[in-house]
Amino acid sequence: ALLDTETLRWSEVDPALAEAVLALRELVVAGGKRLRPAFCHWAYVGAGGPADAPIVVDAGAALELLHTFALVHDDVMDGSELRRGQPAVHRRFITRHADLEWRGDARRFGEGAAILVGDFAFVYADMLFAAAPPVARQVFDELRLELCVGQFLDLVGTASASSDAVQAARIERYKSGKYTVERPLHLGAAL
């Protein structure tokens, strides 16, 4: 609902903006395991919260948008061509640039557009999380920082061709373990 509203809102300013929000919406609805929202939801229910409470629904949507932000940026960093069976967001905009024979480098345009689409997702996640209590906000902030820490460590590990097991474990702890399981559980309990 948020992304549908935002698509309409920004299409009135300029149709190009609607295309950016639509690219985000299409990626979100294309699938995914939705692990982070599920861990958050069940921790919330396990701590005594009602299963259909709007706060946990919004938190789950915020987690999914945060994950989409990370996927879009990760696809740019890795040069991935596909995501969830469709062209990665940067690839979509590279193709658009080339098809319309725009000036400049299509790759730079596509990657820049994808970074901004990811940024939209990051902001929308914050908007959805706005009503959360301060104790939950602290957990959400830590989750977001740990996501960035894990991604940066992964980038460094890949670039340096590291085979250090300790470094690999640290990357997995921050990029996957904390971000996917631990913090969403903490978040649900905090809510």
Mean pLDDT over each residue of the chain, to the nearest integer = 96
Whether the per-residue pLDDT at 33 is higher than 90: the answer is yes
HSE (side-chain half, CA atoms, 13 Å) at 106: 12
CB neighbours (10 Å) of residue 113? 23
The single residue listed with the structure tokens 């740019």 is 76
Whether the per-residue pLDDT at 51 is higher than 90: the answer is yes
Query: What pLDDT sits at residue 7?
Result: 96
Query: What pLDDT sits at residue 76?
Result: 97
Cα 52 from Cα 45, distance rounded (Å): 9
CA separation, residue 70 to residues 8, 10, 75, 117, 139 (Å): 24, 23, 8, 11, 18
pTM above 0.85, yes or no: yes
Averaged pLDDT for residues 87-92: 98
Confidence of residue 175 (pLDDT cuts 50, 70, 90): confident
CA separation, residue 16 to residues 8, 74, 90 (Å): 12, 23, 15
- pLDDT tens-digit readout, 134-169: 999 999 999 999 999 999 999 999 999 999 999 999
CB neighbours (10 Å) of residue 116? 16
Query: What pLDDT sits at residue 82?
Result: 95
What are the start-end ranges of the H helices in the chain? Answer: 2-11, 15-29, 35-46, 54-78, 89-99, 106-128, 134-159, 165-172, 183-190
Cα 66 from Cα 146, distance rounded (Å): 12
Cα 84 from Cα 87, distance rounded (Å): 8
Whether the per-residue pLDDT at 38 is higher than 90: the answer is yes
